[in-house]
Structure 1
Amino acid sequence: MTDTPAARAVPALSDEAFLGHVADRLAALPAVSAVTLGGSRAQGLHTAGSDWDLAVYYRGPFDPARLRALGWEGEVGELGAWGGGVFNGGAWLTIDGRRVDVHYRDLDVVEHELAEARAGRFHWEPLMFHLAGIPSYLVVAELAVNRVLRGTLPAPRYPEALREAAPPVWRQQAAMTLRYAKGAHAPRGQLTEVAGALATAAAQTAHAVLAERGEWVTNEKRLLTRAELRGLDPLIVSLSPDPAALRDAVSRAAALLGLPE
C-alpha cells in the first residue's frame, strides 16, 4: 500500500497491529534474524507523540536497498552512515502516519561487544547528538531493555566485571574534561566552551554513576536525571565570562560531580 499525505494524517492501524505489520516486513528482509522495539515505547515511558524505535539484527551482508524497496516514505541510510562503529546506521521513516526509526545492528558486532562487556572491556565512540559519546556496550544495553518482536536474542544481565571497570574510565574522562576547561577555556573568559565542558563532564559522570548501579544506558535523554545530577543546572545558568568566575564554576562543578580537580 502506498503512503499518501491523507493516509499519514490519521493512522489506519492500532498500535499493536501497526507494530506487527512493520515487524513482519522488516523480519522478511534478507539477512535479518531478529527485530526489536526500543526507546521509550519498549520501556513504557512514551507519550502519544513518541516515535517508534525499531532495530533489525542481521548476520552477514545486509543491503539497505532492500529496506528502501519497501516503499516507506523517508530517508534510508547506508551502513556506517551514522558515524560507523557499533551504531552503524539506520533509517528515518513515516509509516501509517507514525514516525519510525530503524536501526541497523550487525549480530557479529553485537555478540563481540557482549563478550567484551562480560569481560569488563569496552571502548568509547563519538556519536552525533550524544554529549559524552557512547560506550560500545550500548548495543548490549539494547539487548537487555528492548522488546523482541521477531526472532530470538539474548537478554543479558549487567556484568559485574563491567560494573567494576566502566566507572573509573568515565570518571577519568570527566575529570580531564573539567581540567582542560579550567586551564584552557576559563582563563580566556570562554563561557560557551566552559558551559559545554560542564555539560559533557556531567554526562560522563552520569555514565559512571549508572554503571556503578548496574543500570543500562541506551541514550542521554534521561541520563542526568537518572543519575541525580540535575544539580549542575543552576551552576550552568549562573555562568559569566569573567575568568575568575569561570575557574570557580569549574571547581564547583567538580565538587558537585565528586571529581578531583
Structure 2
Amino acid sequence: MNPTHQLFAQLRELPQVEAIALGGSRASGLHDARSDYDVYLYCTEPIAEETRRTLLARYCSAMEIGNHYWECEDNCTFRDGVDLDLLHRDLDGFAADVRRVVEEHKASLGYTTCMWHNLRTCEVVFDRHGRLTALQRRFDVPYPSALRDSIVRANMPLLHGALPAYDAQIHKAAARGDLVSVNHRVTAFLASYFDVLFAVNGMTHPGEKRQLSVAERDCRVLPTDFRPCFDALFASMFTDAAMLDDTIARLARNLSICVEQAG
C-alpha cells in the first residue's frame, strides 16, 4: 500500500473526520510522478495539531503543521519527495460557501466558482455518512444564468469603465514606473477577466493554474486574438507602457464583445 493510501486509512479512523477528498491533478488524472497531493479533510471539529503531527510523521520527512496562509493546512513532503497539502475544512462552512455561489448567485472579484469546481471535480475517497457525496449531487446542476450575470456585473466594470477600474490603475502605475504596482493591478485585472470568461462559457473556475490552456481547450466562446493578446501582455508588462495600455484595452474590449456574443 502506498503512503497516501496508508495515510487515508489512518485519517478515517479519527472521529472528527467526516470525509476525505483528493483534488487537483491527482483527481483529474493529469498528474505525473512528481505531482503533489491536494487532500481535503472535511471535519466536524478541529483535530489537535499534535495528533496530526504524530500521524503525519509516520509518512513524511518534512512537515509544517497548522499553516494559515490560505486555508488551514498541513504542508508536508512524503519520504519519496512528493509534496502533500492537507487542507482542513469545516463541512458545514464549505457547504454554505458553495450554496452562496450556486444557489444565491453571490459573485466575487475573481475566482467566484473555484470552490464549486473543487466540489464537482474532487475524488471522494472516504465519506463517513455520505454527506460530501450528497453535496456533490445537490450542486451537480447546470450553470445558473443568474450567477453568470452576477459575475459579469461584478467584474466587467473593473476591467474598464468604473472610476477605480484596473485599466486606469495599470496606466498610472506604468506611467510612474511602479513595476510592483503594475504587477499587482495586472494580476487583479486577470482575476476578474478569467472569472468573466469562464462564467460566460458556463464553466466553473479551475483555479489559478493553467487558466490560459484550460480556456483554449474548453471554452466554446473565446475573445478575438485571445492568445496573441496574452503574448503581447506578458511581453510588455514591465518594458513598454504604451503597448501595455493598448493590450489591456484590447483584452477588455474583446472580452466585452465576447460577453455580448455569448448572450
Taking structure 1 as the reference length, the TM-score comes to: 0.75
Q: Percent identity?
A: 26
Show the counterpart of 2:156.
Answer: 171
Which runs of structure 2 are paired with 1:152-163 in the superposition (5 Å)? 152=130, 153=132, 154-155=135-136, 156-158=139-141, 159-160=143-144, 161-163=146-148
Deviation at residue 69 of structure 1 after TM alignment = 1.7
**Matched-pair contact (CA < 8 Å) for 1:67–1:76:** no
Alignment of 1:212-231 (within 5 A): 212-228=200-216, 229-231=226-228
CA contact (8 A) 2:101 2:107 kept: no
Question: Partner of 2:88 in structure 1?
Answer: 104
Worse overlay, 243-252 or 62-71: 243-252
Amino acid at match of 1:110: F
Cα offset, 1:233, TM superposition: 2.1
Higher alpha-carbon deviation: 197-206 or 242-251: 242-251
- 2:66 and 2:72 in contact (8 A); partners too: yes
Name the one with the larger helix percent: 2
User: Any idea what SS the aligned residue of 1:227 has?
Assistant: helix
8 Å Cα contact 2:40/2:89 also seen in 1: yes
Alignment-derived partner of residue 53 in structure 1: 38
Distance 2:107 2:237 in 1: 33
Query: Structure 2 CA distance, aligned partners of 1:23 and 1:250?
Result: 46
Segments of 4+ in structure 1 off by > 6 A?
A: none
> 1:253, 1:118 → 2: CA distance?
27
Residues of 2 paired with 1:180 and 1:49: CA distance? Answer: 39
1:194 equivalent in alignment to 2:192? no
Q: How does 1:81-100 map to 2 (within 5 A)?
A: 81-83=68-70, 88-97=71-80, 98-100=82-84
Instruction: Kindly indicate whether residue 118 of structure 2 is the aligned counterpart of residue 142 of structure 1.
Output: yes
Distance 1:163 1:239, change over 3 A: closer
Residue 17 of structure 2 corresponds to which residue in structure 1?
Answer: 32
Unaligned runs of 5+ residues in structure 2 are 217-225
Contact 1:27-1:150 within 8 A present in 2 as well: yes
Match of 2:102 among 96, 101, 118: 118
Residues of 1 paired with 2:125 and 2:209: CA distance?
Answer: 24
TM-score, structure 2 length as denominator? 0.74
* Displacement after TM superposition at 1:141 (Å): 2.2
Equivalence for 2:223 = none
C-alpha change, 1:174 and 1:89, in structure 2 (3 Å) is farther
Cα distance change, pair 214–245 in 1 and its aligned pair in 2 (3 A): closer
Shift of 1:31: 1.1
**Aligned equivalents of 1:171 and 1:68: distance in 2?**
45
Q: CA deviation at 1:40?
A: 0.5
Q: Deviations over 1:73-131 (max 9, x none)?
A: 3333327x124xxxx22112223413211111111211111221232333648xxxxxx
Q: CA deviation at 1:57?
A: 0.4
Shift of 1:33: 0.4
Q: Which amino acid aligns with 1:143?
A: L
Partner residue of 1:180 out of 147, 165, 169:
169
5+ long unaligned stretches in structure 1: 1-12, 126-131
Deviations 1:184-237 (A, max 9, x none): 223324455435533432332112111222322242111122224443123320
Aligned equivalents of 2:231, 2:61: Cα separation in 1: 39
Give the number of equivalent residue pairs.
Answer: 231
Equivalent residue letter for 1:235: L
Cross-structure match for 1:205 = 193
CA distance in 1, matches of 2:149, 2:194: 15
Does the aligned pair in 2 maintain the 1:168–1:208 contact within 8 Å?
A: no
By how many angstroms is 1:68 displaced?
Answer: 1.1
Aligned to 2:221: none
Separation (CA, whole Å) in 2 of partners of 1:39 and 1:73 = 22
